Chain A
Amino acid sequence: MTEWTAGHKLRSVVLVLVLMFTGPWPARAQFVSPCCALLVAGLSSIQSALTKVVGGGLNQILGVDKAMQQFQQAVVWPQNLINQARGIVAALQGNFNQIQNLMKIPINSATLPVSQQLEQILLSHNPNQIAQTSGAYTALYGPIPQTTAAAPQVLNIVDMTDAAAQAAMKRAIEIDALADLELQAANQLNQSIQAAAPGSAPIMEAEADAWLIRANAYTQAATADLIRLRSVDLANASADIKMGAANTTNLRQALANLLQHQ
């Protein structure tokens, strides 16, 4: 090979030149290539577009989001004011406990066995004792007279009045028991409110509203029974006048008859 090269220098040079100019040599540094310059310019455009369009747009959104976050933390849900409100809720729990304890103070005052028994039932706050109310009531206020012992109208009035009085007493026991449960529920709600988040507190508020509506309904029921009782009392007063008039007429007639017979 070396001998042939030495003998054919021109051919060797031609071969070398052909190899140099036509060989698929690996690419050299790109920046010296015109196509690479185009690539660089293109990538620069992409970078510029990313920086201005995407980066700029995202920065604007970030700015708005930061403003929203700052506004919500400082104005809408400031942690210190939320903690302060929770503190008030906890402080009010103490007030609620005091009210509950006040309502539990014994107030019994009767001194005689019969009245003590009725009073104990009336102040029991226990609906299971309602059934015993009538017995204790009759023991204290007496039974309805025998049918031969009074006029039917009087018997009706006496029965109606006893019934109204007993119903009111039974309702009083019910209302006391319901009020105890309401106080218990209100305390439970208040404890839940202390542990609530600003977003869950309105849920507890809705539950408390429902309890308040219920409590209003019970108050109305108690008021209704009180009005019923007073209606019966008013009707009794009216009946007394009616019976008094009838009795006076009868007496006048009897006296007239008596005088005529003499």
Chain B
Amino acid sequence: MQVLVYTIFFATLTWLMMTVQNRRRVVAVTLAGVMVVTLVGAPPSAQAQIGILGAIQAVLNVINGVIQTALTGINTVRTAVNNLQQLVVWPQQLINQARAQITQMIGHYRNLMRNIFKINLNSTTLPAPQALEAIIRDHQVGNFQALTAMFANNYGAIPVVTSASAGDRAISDMDDALALDNLKTLKAADQATDIELQSADAIENSSSQAAPGSAPFLTATAITSAIHAQALTQKLLAAELRQEAARIAHRNTLRKENASNTTQLRGVLLNLLQHQ
């Protein structure tokens, strides 16, 4: 736009220079024309330079003000978080100390407890009880038939049909069965206890080398082991419940028989007295 206006004015000046005849008029036209085209052609340079400098200063102000403050703030926070993690939450020294303590506890307790648990409890003196005692404490589950045979060697067989009433034979069979059931359950439970102890050792060994981030795996699996242990305890309690129930049921049957026998005896005595 500026160039177009300048061209028009310069063309007018040229036309005037070509057409004016008087020398004084030429000088006048030249001076006036120079003034006009200078005004038209001069760019607003001074105004533009002041705007650029202001903009640059504004950018510098933003960088040195807002951005620097923000970056300093972020850096302060990140440094604080880093310090919190390394000094308070997961201090390397305490992690190493915890690992060392586990290793120390393994060394102090494991063999001590293992040796206590391995003390031989067998106390029988005669061959048949010795065999039975050995088999009920061997932690094996593949010799139940031998267990049944040795149990019979010690406690005898169920009376034959002609030697006892059906009720007595059945109750005797049930007592023996529950005793044997529980002895078998205990052999299995003994083996399961050994496996639980192995699990505890494995978890403890891993704990002595664990990191804060791997420990939750060990904690979680330790709890599932504890659930297994609880289930095993419940099965032993169920066995004890069966056994105790059978025991008082047996006594109760004797009470029923006593009541029946007493009633019969009373009847007999009354009859006897009446006949006298």
Contact = CB atoms under 8 A, between A and B. Distances in A.
Interface in A54-113: 54, 57-58, 60-61, 64-65, 67-68, 71-72, 75-78, 81-82, 84-86, 88-89, 91-92, 95-96, 98-99, 102-103, 105, 107-112
A194 to B, nearest CB: 8
B249 A107 contact: no
Interface residues of chain A: helix, strand, loop or mixed (majority): helix
A76 B211 contact: yes
B92 to A, nearest CB: 6
B72 A57 contact: yes
A222 B245 CA distance: 13
B259 A145 contact: yes
B248 A229 contact: yes
B110 interface: no
A81 B199 contact: no
Given A23-B6, A35-B45, A81 B210 contact: yes
A236 B237 CA distance: 22
A69 B262 CA distance: 88
B206 to A, nearest CB: 5
B224 A190 contact: yes
Nearest to B96: A75
A201 B216 contact: yes
Nearest to A56: B71
B49 A141 contact: no
Interface residues of A, number: 125
Contact of B251 (A140, A182, A236): A236
Given A45-B60, A168-B244, A212-B230, A88 B217 contact: yes
Contacts of A57: 67-68, 71-72, 74-75
Contacts of A205: 216, 219-220, 223
Given A61-B71, A185-B227, A205-B220, A175 B259 contact: no
Contacts of A72: 85
Given A18-B10, A38-B53, A169 B245 contact: yes
B237 A64 contact: no
B255 A154 contact: yes
A158 B225 CA distance: 42
B242 A169 contact: yes
Given A111-B158, A172-B242, A186-B224, A219 B174 contact: no
Given A35-B49, A95-B199, A168 B63 contact: no
Interface string B221-241: 101111110111111011111
Contacts of A82: 211, 213-214, 217
Given A18-B34, A219-B233, A222-B241, A149 B174 contact: no
Contacts of B214: 77-78, 81-82, 84-85, 198
A22 B6 CA distance: 9
A231 B234 CA distance: 20
Counting chain A CB atoms within 10 Å of each CB, the highest count among B10, B245, B262 belongs to B245
B234 A109 contact: no
Nearest to B244: A229
Interface of B: 2-3, 6, 10, 13-14, 17-18, 26, 30, 33-34, 37-38, 40-43, 45, 48-49, 52-53, 56-57, 59-60, 63-64, 67-68, 71-72, 74-75, 78-79, 81-82, 85-86, 90, 92, 95, 141, 144, 148, 158, 167, 169-171, 173-174, 176-178, 180-181, 184-185, 188-189, 191-192, 195-196, 198-199, 202-203, 206, 209-221, 223-228, 230-235, 237-242, 244-253, 255-257, 259-260, 262-263
14 contacts: A8-B18, A23-B41, A105-B141, A110-B173, A115-B173, A150-B260, A158-B256, A172-B242, A182-B230, A189-B224, A205-B223, A218-B234, A226-B240, A236-B255
